[in-house]
Structure formats: C-alpha cells, structure tokens
Structure 1
Amino acid sequence: MQTNPHSKLGKGMMIAGWTIALLVLTSIFARFESSQNNPNQQLEVSHAPSGEIQVFLKRNRYGHYVLSGKINQKDVTFLVDTGATNVSVPEAIADQLGMTRQGQGYVHTANGRAKVYYSTIQQLTIGDIELYDIPANINPHMDDEEVLLGMSALKHVEFTQQGNTLILKTSS
C-alpha cells in the first residue's frame, strides 16, 4: 500500500499548527499569571504642585503588595513587608546588583534566626520616588525573586491603605 504524500504533509502541518497554538497560549497564560502576582508592573504616579509624589499600589490576588522598582538603577521586584526592619535582598539578586557586604549579623525572621550580611543601597526607586543610602540585608537564605521592601525604606515615605490600594507619599 502506498501512502498519499499530501496526507503526511497535512498531518505535519496540523501538528505544527497545534504546537504553535499551544506555545502562544502558554505565553499568554504566563503573562496573565505574572500580572496576577505583580499588578504593579506599570506604577500609577501623581505629582502635586507642592512637590508631593504619590505612588498607588494595587494588592495582588494573594493580598500582598508586589511592585516593580529599581535598586541602583537596575530592575527588581519588591514585596512590601512592614514587618521587616530593613530591605532584605536575596543573595543571588544582591550579587547581580553588585551589592557589597559590610559585615554580618543575625536577624529574626518568620522562619527563625538567620545569618545576613549588612549592606547599603545607594539608590532605591519606586515609581518617581527616589530614596538614597538605604540600609539593607543580603540574605543568603532567601530563594525568592522578590526583594522585601522593609521599614528602612518605608520610613522615608508616608503610606496609607484605602481598600485594595496602598498609597506611598513623599515630597520632593
């Protein structure tokens, strides 16, 4: 029995079509999932004539405030953590950012006591809010892709929550 060459071509085209469709759907789903975890990839910012800057953060579906920002002019993802004394940077991210270690110590976390390295962030940017010389910890025990935005940064801004929105406010 001979097989029709057009039949093989048709099957190949159908397989290729389904493969492309699955890749496109996977890409769309990945973007959707990312926006669900970090709804603040494009921050809403307002400037008052008095020089006050406000950044509006939306809560994600897990109830957290996750946002895109910068450390030393390099993109990072922050997780707002008012229970953290300092900004806490996972070691892998700190190495990518070129952060220097300035001694070591221990901190108490939700997972218990952890050894960290002290550091300073020269510039931390949230929307149009820029903060300088912010104390930070480099944490070798964090595997996350998110930097914990602790009180060493948050104490420089006023923050209020209204419904599912957290408003960070400072004057320039």
Structure 2
Amino acid sequence: MPCEPATPAPLGTASALPSEDAPRIYVACLAAYNNGYLHGRWINATTPDEIMDKVRAMLAASPLPDADEWAIHDYEGFEGASLSEYASFETVCALAEFISEHGRLGAKVHRHYGDDLEQARAAFENYAGEYRSVADFAEELARECGTEIPASLQYYIDWDAMGWDMALNGDIFTVETGFDQVHIFWSR
C-alpha cells in the first residue's frame, strides 16, 4: 500500500467489558457429572493459579469421594469467542484478557483467525479503524494519499467497489460489529 489512512484513535473503553460481565467459566466435577449429579462452580478468569485453587476446592466439596477430574462445561463474558471443554487455564486467562481489552470486536477477530489468539493479537497491530462502510474507508484512503479528484468526477467514483476490491484482493479484511460499524484491518 503506498498510502494508508491516518492512524485511528485507540479503541476506547466502549468496547471494553464492564466488570460485572468479566469473563468466567463454569468448571464441573466429572465424577459427579458422570454419576448424575450437577456439581461445579463459576470461576472468574483471573489467573491460572487462582482458577486451579478454586477448582481444587470445588473438587474437594464433590458429593463423590476422591473426585479429581474436571471440565469446562460453560463460559460467559467471552463475547462469542469459543473455549474448549479442556482448555488450559492459561488459555482461558489469555483469552479473557484479550476479550476484556478488545470486547466483541476481539472475539470476532479471534473467530476470523480460527480461534488462534496469537494471530488475533497480531491483527490489532494492523488495525486501520472503524468506518461506516468499506466505501468510506476507500474514499478516505484515496483522499489521504493526496489523490486530487476533480469536482466534476467525484460522483462517478464507486468507492464501495474499490473497498470491496481491496477486501477481495486480500489487502484488507473487515469485521462488522453493528449497523454502520465496519472495522478494517490490513492483511499484511
């Protein structure tokens, strides 16, 4: 790309999760579950050690003696990002931190990269900003590159087609988070 739009303002706290919606997991005791009992605990995704301590306490309180196996049976506050039943607590906490920082946009980027957290993190290094449409992005890009467009031709330019061509060519990828909320990422 010879020219890029101005660096966007940092993602504001509007996309960050309120504390009451902080990511958390429901960890179930498998010994109880396999014997027809529902026994588990909702645990905030804070640190791997804190989660493990709470899992040990939950297992110790199991209705079945010597319970030592667990699984993640539910989760919330991850804005649609997926977690495996046997995800490590390090993975849970890393994803929770990422989602807390980037909100629903982060979850959608995470999904775009096949649930690869490292690629999702790297994508934010190439974040071009939020626009109403790819057409607005294409127009801003052209104008900020210094392209002089005569007034008599301005209404003949198909900015929408230019923006979608950039997406189809693999120059950018887009993530929609709502009506007139298109987030643009360079695909470097």
- Normalised by the shorter chain, which TM-score bucket? under 0.3
Bigger strand fraction: 1
Which structure has greater helix proportion? 2
TM-score (norm 1): 0.26
The alignment's TM-score, normalised by the length of structure 2, stands at 0.25
